[in-house]
Structure 1
Amino acid sequence: MGKLLGALADWYQRRQQLQKPWTQQRYVALDIETTGLDPKKHQVLSIAWMSIEPPVMHTGSAQYHVFSHGQELELGQSPTIHGLTRQDFLHSSEPRQTYAMLSRALSGAVLVCHHKGMDWRFLKHIEKQYFVNFRPLGIFDTLAFEKNSMFKDLSNPPQKGQLTLNACRLRHGLPNYTSHHALTDTLSCAELFLAQAFKFSGNDATTRELIDFAR
């Protein structure tokens, strides 16, 4: 009975939190670079995240971590992969400690990412692998938000390349960042989120309304 009451209290508290104006909420923008799309087969190379309290992006809070997985990554003919060099992999973070930090950062915050499907899939796999819990209040997907905003006509679906992070940013008048890197992409995602959210509702929407539009 105690666990049930605790779960109900937690649900109610989270529900109330999401009724706040979106500008009074804390967000965490995140980007993950991996060796592939399947978390059961592929590995996380690097991860970055940063807190946002609209309209402020707390760049000083940004975290960036690289994982070597105990071995030197084979880069083949390319000097880099996802903006990482062999030198980067010599300074690997400890995964369990890193993901524990991310878990604390996401507690009581809304996760912001560009392509929820991939990022959340990897985070759920990490939960099982490292025995951590990621419990954000909700998830804001900048890709889904842009798709819902710009391509409402089902007879005119988005063309290839129109929903990339940079393509979405350009439509909002944001600069094009050429480097493909977890920390740069986290900053890019955070800027895009703020541009989308303010354009959507100014200061008026609740956090729940904003999240629901980005499903």
Structure 2
Amino acid sequence: MSQWLQKLAHWYDRRQKLKQPWQSLRYVALDIESTGLDPKKHQVLSIAWMTIHPPVMHYGNAQYHVFSHGQELDLGQSPTIHGLTEQDFLHSSEPKQTFAMLSRALNHAVLVCHHKGMDWRFLKHIEAQYGIPFKPLAIFDTLAFEKNKLERNPQQPIQGGQLTLSACRKRYNLPNYHYHHALTDTVACAELFLAQCYASKLFKEPLNSLLKNFS
């Protein structure tokens, strides 16, 4: 019974926090670069995250970690993979310690990512592998938000490539970055999130009403 009461209390606390104006919440933008799309078969190469207190992005507290998985990585013909060189893998982070830091960062925060499907799948796999819980207040997907926005105009069906991070940023006149690097993509996602927030009338409502569509 006590476990059930704890879950109910957590659910109620979460709902109350999400009823606040969106600007008063804390957000954590995140990006994961991996060797593939399936967390059961592929490995996380690098991860980055950064805290946002709208409208401030905390660059100084951003975290960026690379994982060599105890092996020398053979890049073959390519000098880089996801913006990483062999030199980068010489300074590998310890996974369990890194993910414990991320767990603390996500506590009482809204996770922000571009295409939550992949990032959240990897986080849930890490959670099971290391026994480290990831319990953000909610997840905000910048891709899903943009998709929902474009779908409101049925006269112009969504075309291929319109939902990439680069294409979404372009619609808000944000600068073009070199992508597929975890830290760069984290910054790019955070900037897109804030641009979406301040450009949208929807964000005059509590965030809780939006997360029904985008979490």
TM range (shorter): over 0.9
Partner of 1:196: 196
CA–CA distance in 2 between the matches of 1:150 and 1:202?
14
Identity level (%)? 69
* Deviation digits for residues 43-66 of structure 1 (CA, Å, limit 9, x no counterpart): 000000000010111111100000
CA–CA distance in 1 between the matches of 2:179 and 2:118?
20
Partner of 2:54: 54
Q: Please state how far the C-alpha of 1:157 moved relative to its aligned partner.
A: 3.3
Are residues 155 and 72 of structure 1, via their aligned partners in 2, closer, same or farther at CA, if it must alter by over 3 Å?
farther
The correspondence of residues 1-215 of structure 1 with structure 2, limited to 5 A, is 1-153=1-153, 156-201=156-201, 204-215=204-215
Are residues 179 and 148 of structure 1, via their aligned partners in 2, closer, same or farther at CA, if it must alter by over 3 Å?
closer
- One-letter identity of the residue aligned with 2:66: V
CA–CA distance in 2 between the matches of 1:32 and 1:188?
13
CA–CA distance in 2 between the matches of 1:175 and 1:59?
17
- One-letter identity of the residue aligned with 2:47: I
CA–CA distance in 1 between the matches of 2:27 and 2:158?
27
**Secondary structure of the structure 1 residue equivalent to 2:208:** helix
- One-letter identity of the residue aligned with 1:170: K
Assess if the C-alpha contact under 8 Å between 1:47 and 1:65 holds in 2. Answer: yes
CA–CA distance in 2 between the matches of 1:88 and 1:211?
37
* Deviation digits for residues 108-163 of structure 1 (CA, Å, limit 9, x no counterpart): 00000000100000100000111100000000000000000113345743222111
Segment of structure 1 superposing worse, 176-185 or 109-118: 176-185
- One-letter identity of the residue aligned with 1:175: P
Give the gaps of 5 or more residues in structure 2.
Answer: none
Give the gaps of 5 or more residues in structure 1.
Answer: none
CA–CA distance in 2 between the matches of 1:180 and 1:117?
17
CA–CA distance in 2 between the matches of 1:6 and 1:178?
45
**Secondary structure of the structure 2 residue equivalent to 1:60:** helix
Assess if the C-alpha contact under 8 Å between 1:23 and 1:203 holds in 2. Answer: no
RMSD in angstroms over aligned alpha carbons? 1.4
CA–CA distance in 1 between the matches of 2:154 and 2:141?
20
TM-score with structure 1 setting the length: 0.96
Assess if the C-alpha contact under 8 Å between 1:112 and 1:193 holds in 2. Answer: yes
TM-score with structure 2 setting the length: 0.96
- One-letter identity of the residue aligned with 1:86: E
CA–CA distance in 2 between the matches of 1:150 and 1:179?
23
Q: Please state how far the C-alpha of 1:33 moved relative to its aligned partner.
A: 0.1
Assess if the C-alpha contact under 8 Å between 2:33 and 2:180 holds in 1. Answer: no
Structure 1 stretches (4+) deviating beyond 4 angstroms?
153-156
